[in-house]
Amino acid sequence: MGCSFQVDVFINVRACYVKVEDDGCGITREGLVILGQKYATSKYHLINEAEHDNGEVSFKGEALSSLSDISLVEVRTKARGRPNAYCKIIKGSKCLFLGIDDQREAAGTTVIVRDLFYNQPVRRKCMHSSLKKVLHLVKKCVLRIALAHPQVSFKVADIESDEELLCTVPCSNPLPLISDAFGDSISNCLHEIASSDEVMILSGYISGPSDAFSTKVSTDKNS
């Protein structure tokens, strides 16, 4: 999540539209130039991956490039401490526009996906045939990210119904969110773990070997 404190997701399944906003550090113009290209990523340096990947970047940086193959992707961003905001529009991994964005004043990034699956009619028809299921899957996906980043506030909203599907409150650990999402009966059975070395820090909660959770609990809480 970088330095973001809030991430908002707005989705209209019927209109094939998704918007994700954050209040993070933003992207510099130099970074925006390569954004959307295959294998372009800003995450490569975080754990000194060059030593482990033998110079290969595998699938890192594929998300926006792949997304632009099936939709029109618009990125509006302003890097913290920089005077100008910028906008980039991508389709088919090709840049259609890159220039100054006069609309954005605050630091952060907004990614807008329009006309999703425009060139894949079968997948679009499948998506339109199960609107509630798609919304549930989006909520479930964002909830998983929220559990990994409890210090960030996440919101998921359905534009068509104007319904707020998920709204998390920032906290120092994920336990309150676990209780809210899955129930106290599950959160009370979890055990805290904490480990670290020179490369990374691992923290969180895990169930014991004798704990058995009903899947019905989590299903009911997230439906």
pTM above 0.85, yes or no: no
Cβ contact 112:19 at 8 Å:
yes
> Quick one: pLDDT at residue 56?
44
* Residue predicted with more confidence, 117 or 52: 117
C-beta neighbour count of 78 within 10 angstroms = 22
The Cα–Cα gap between 81 and 125 comes to 44
Domain(s) labelled CATH 3.30.565.10 in the chain stretch across 6-167
Q: Is the dihedral of CA 207, 211, 214, 215 positive or negative?
A: positive
134-167 per-position pLDDT tens digit: 999 999 999 999 999 999 999 999 999 999 999 9
- Tell me the residue type at 41: T
Please report the pLDDT score of residue 211 as a whole number: 58
Residues 164-219 pLDDT 10s: 999 999 998 899 999 999 899 888 889 888 899 988 888 888 887 765 554 443 44
**Which CATH number, 3.40.710.10, 3.40.30.10, 3.30.565.10, 1.10.3720.10, labels domain 6-167?**
3.30.565.10
